[in-house]
Amino acid sequence: MARPKQVITRDVEVRVRFTPLEKKAVALMAEKVGLSLSEYIRQAAFNREMKMRFTTEELNLYKQLHIFRNNFAAIANLVKSRTESTELLIAIIQLKEEMEAHLKKFQ
Residue 72 and residue 99 in contact, taking contact as beta carbons nearer than 8 Å: yes
Annotated domain spans of the chain: 16-53, 56-105
pLDDT-wise least confident of 15-24, 27-36, 38-47, 76-85: 76-85
Residue 90 or 18, more confident = 18
Distance, CA of 40 to CA of 70 (rounded, Å) = 37
Residue 64 and residue 99 in contact, taking contact as beta carbons nearer than 8 Å: no
Residue 26 and residue 18 in contact, taking contact as beta carbons nearer than 8 Å: yes
Query: What pLDDT was estimated at residue 106?
Result: 66
Q: What is the pTM assigned to this prediction?
A: 0.47
Position 65 pLDDT exceeds 70: yes
Residue 51 or 45, more confident = 45
Query: What pLDDT was estimated at residue 107?
Result: 61
